[in-house]
Structure 1
Amino acid sequence: MNTNADSLLDVSRDEIVPYFMWDYQYTVGQIKERLARGPESERLWLMAKIMRDARYSDVWKFISLQDFLTYREGLMNGRLGRMKGFWEFLYSRWIEYGIIKDADALDDLAE
């Protein structure tokens, strides 16, 4: 059963404006395009906005773990607001459980 709430949280179609972009009105397609080809400053801004405002499961529909690891320092440096602690916690657990290694995070992901 598809409810109105389900449609508000839908991020599967390129033509819709996702719930976390209510203040900018970018469509899913525009977000994906800007993340793929935009200048680094715009990509960082979009990644941070998604990480702050989207549900955790939706974050990974737009950014990869590789993106997160590549831009982690820039994202953690004042861009994540109230969500910074959440992402720091996840990152520390990924290291603790051997999902990634701190200094070699990018190399680990490539293996």
Structure 2
Amino acid sequence: MNWLILIIAGLFEVAFAFCLSKAKETTGTDMYLWYGGFLICSAISFLLLIKAVQTLPLGTAYAVWTGIGAVGTVLLGIFFFKDPANFWRIFFIVTLIGSIIGLKYVSH
């Protein structure tokens, strides 16, 4: 169950990065709404991370949390913000995903 909580925390990390990027693109009320979404997603992400590390090793949980955030943010950039998707970028994303999965399997 705590792995599921950790995965959800990582997804909220992706969401707060998305909100931050959208806030940068907008002005006025929309910008403040995106910043509000950033704050809410950040708080949820951190609270879920705190819950997950109560039973998971801190180093593993933090690495998985940041890994999910990194992979998700890069994929959001590719699909929504027209970031480049060249061979090496995809190669290292796949490597990072493999590392996250590996950390889960070697954790007790």
TM-score over 0.5 (shorter chain): no
Give the number of the structure whose residues are more often helix, by fraction.
2
Taking CA–CA contacts closer than 8 Å with sequence separation of 6 or more, which of the two structures ends up with the larger relative contact order?
Answer: 2
TM-score (norm 1): 0.29
